[in-house]
Chains A and B, each alone.
Chain A
Amino acid sequence: MAEKRRTIIPIGPYHPLQEEPEFYKLFVEGERIVDIDVRIGYNHRGIEKLAESKHYDQIVYLIERICGICSTSHPIAYVQAVEDIMGDIEIPERALYIRSIIGELERVHSHLLWLGLAGHFLGYNTVFMWAWKYREPVLDIFEVISGNRNHYAMLKPGGVRRDIDDDAIPGIIKILDDLIPVLDMFKGAVLDDPVLAARLKGVGILSKKDIVEYSALGPVARASGIEIDVRKDEPYAAYDRVKWNVITQQEGDVFAKAVVRILETYESISIIKQCLQKMPKGPIDAELKDIPPGEGIGHHEAPRGETFHYVRSDGTNSPVRHKVRAPTFMNFPTFKASVIGERVADATIILAAIDPCYCCTERMSVIDRKSGKQLLAGEQLIKLSQERTKEIARKMGRS
């Protein structure tokens, strides 16, 4: 085999591209990427283990802090898992609507945040500043509803913690209506800008087959023409009570992902407005009984894809196992398909295109891909890590 000289371009562990520590090793020949190695695990905080020592109602606060951006997607999935264990519990209608409203508001602010960051990664700082400026009113809505701009603390098993005041609804709808022209502007700026099109079209393409093989989720999958969305596929909260569409694009490149996110924001605004108008009066939480032994799952379509929670109870007031699977964990491996063969200049935007959320992903559950076996024990993890280091050292020594 002809040995070619490869340069390793490190992105991370600390890099201006990322707000969180992650390590991508790009193996390049010239400007062309020939291989990529993704190292995650710099942000591990042991949240799943911590959850086992907390009461069911305390866990909501804990997992809300898994991530600051999609801070409500984990509680929504978690409370649904707990309610799944309870089985026969009836959640009040109003609480379901409020859950949907909070979940969609989060999608609006998260997609605007991504749009800004994507602009920044392309050196287009004007988009960055503008997107974040127009994200502020959404955070104001959160402040009106929950008193917090982030970490809304709205969810609890059995319902929600705070009601949305009827007097506040016209104001919220006005802010949302004002967002529509802003989105039109961004849509125009993205779809019609020839330079942006040249940078994003045909870059980092994920085919339908790639998506299926890597089990990618969320906007990443939808941009490749796969209509996957838990809100539609397995409705929860109030998503089956309002009219909305799953947005898909066929191209699978970074441009399609941007388009999907922008168009989804319109859908989210429409969902919120419908929910606010249709929301029935009534109680916002149900009386909770003891949690019986058993297991339950809950999922929520977070801005980045499906968040999945599994909770196992033994009848005490703490779970014996709480497993969180964030969408980024599923979207990470697609880099193998999307980055290799591209140029270094495109790597950053491709890496950013899945909107990676590392803090969500890292509660460390490593799966050995060959055997499919889950390695959970600490010693095994350490051993695996050491083997990995040795392997890399060996590879680097050879090339």
Chain B
Amino acid sequence: MKTIVQFLIFPGFLFTAVVGLIASWIDRKVTARVQWRVGPPWYQPFVDMVKLLGKETIIPKGTSAVTFLTAPLVGLASVTLISMLLWLTLLNPGKGFIGDLIVVLYLSVIPAVSIIIGGFASRNPLASLGASREMKLVLGYELPFVLALLVPVIKAGGSIRLDEIVASQMATGATATSLSGVLALIVAIMCMQAKLTLVPFDLPEAETELMGGAYIEYSGPPLAVYKLTKHMFMFALPIFLVMTFMGGFGPSPISLILGLLKYVALLVIIVLIRNTNPRVRIDQAVRFFWGPMTLFAIVAVALAFLGW
């Protein structure tokens, strides 16, 4: 019972959804200010969700309705789980389990998989092109992302428990205060940008090329679920990086506020990257991740081994 409440309300679905929508408002507002616009009021993302939920669901002819409709839910469930795991670890120090870092790592691929399934289930050439791009993107960024996460693991003395990583950073300073940590954080931020499919890595949906790509056939509530997943991911993923690279935070109020500030800083970096870059091509994106980013990550891991 307690787990269900945790999953559905706090710190799971409801909490993540509300904060995620507020994060998406910050994204929209900062974007608007950068582009000399006024931007929407704070409640706009909520209104958008309500509107989408009230719209008709159209299932394209000849698709498997079950696959088409469950694909978004898979992504939503996994993001909720990530957020729940992270916050439970943060709020109850010492209560993690061995390998929760790896669980989170795995779960963070699921939203991309749900986009791929949904895109291919749509039976639309643009959607399958979007899905195939997403697939290539996943292949591109997962390697440097995992390599970058090795750095905090090494710093924490080889622990793959999130609470131990946070505790060791609290004792000896955040990962990002060392040279290897900074390098790995840069790589992780780039991978995060791709995981969130934001410009310059928004290839799977590329509005002006693919008209929304993988999402093209989605309407109404399933589309709302996809959008919500993306917004929630925008909350959960930076929190993950805050925990592994930026020292994390504990349950005390001051520590919480400090942690949220670190999160907002990461969010602003994401938004600025998204507004000062054009979209890259898929081959350029993969080359970018397999080339310089993987190299950076390997150097960071080597430096971490040397104790830098």
Contact = CB atoms under 8 A, between A and B. Distances in A.
Contacts of B210: 344
Given A123-B199, A129-B37, 19 more contacts: A9-B126, A15-B211, A16-B207, A16-B211, A31-B283, A120-B208, A123-B207, A123-B208, A124-B278, A124-B279, A130-B36, A133-B36, A198-B280, A199-B278, A199-B280, A344-B129, A344-B210, A345-B203, A348-B208
Interface string B170-211: 000000000000000000000000000001101100111111
Interface in B225-282: 275-282
Contact of B279 (A16, A123, A130): A123
B99 interface: no
Interface in A1-37: 7-10, 15-17, 31
A348 B129 CA distance: 15
Contacts of B279: 122-124, 199, 345
B281 A346 contact: yes
Interface in B206-230: 206-211
Nearest to B202: A123
Given A195-B277, A199-B280, A343-B281, A129 B125 contact: no
A125 interface: yes
A67 interface: no
Max count, chain A CB within 10 A of own CB: residue among B208, B277, B281: B208
Contacts of B35: 125-126, 128-130
A119 interface: yes
B209 A345 contact: yes
Contact of A17 (B125, B199, B208, B281): B208
Contacts of A119: 278
B278 A123 contact: yes
Contacts, number: 79
A121 interface: yes
A347 interface: yes
B284 interface: yes
B117 to A, nearest CB: 19
A340 interface: no
B59 interface: no
Interface of A: 7-10, 15-17, 31, 119-130, 133, 193, 195-196, 198-199, 343-348
Contact of A196 (B202, B206, B207, B278): B278
B34 interface: yes
A346 B208 CA distance: 11
Contact of B206 (A124, A129, A130, A345): A345
Contacts of B203: 345
Q: Is the interface of A mostly helix, strand, loop or mixed?
A: helix
Contacts of A198: 280, 284
A135 B129 CA distance: 35
Contacts of A17: 208-209
Interface of B: 31, 34-37, 125-126, 129, 199-200, 202-203, 206-211, 275-284
Top 9 A-B residue pairs of the complex, sorted by shortest distance between their CB atoms: A123-B279, A129-B35, A122-B278, A124-B278, A345-B281, A121-B208, A126-B275, A123-B199, A17-B208
Contacts of A126: 34-35, 275-276
Contacts of B284: 198-199
Nearest to B136: A31
Contacts of B199: 123-125
Nearest to B205: A123
Nearest to A120: B208
A121 B126 CA distance: 16
B131 to A, nearest CB: 13
Contacts of B280: 195, 198-199
Max count, chain A CB within 10 A of own CB: residue among B31, B203, B278: B278
B36 A16 contact: no
B83 to A, nearest CB: 28
A199 to B, nearest CB: 6
Contact of A199 (B126, B202, B275, B281): B281
A199 B203 CA distance: 13
Nearest to A9: B125
Max count, chain B CB within 10 A of own CB: residue among A123, A130, A193, A199: A123
B104 to A, nearest CB: 29
A4 B210 CA distance: 23
Contacts of A130: 35-36
Max count, chain B CB within 10 A of own CB: residue among A119, A124, A130, A346: A124
A348 B208 CA distance: 7
Contacts of B36: 129-130, 133
A320 B194 CA distance: 60
Contacts of B31: 125
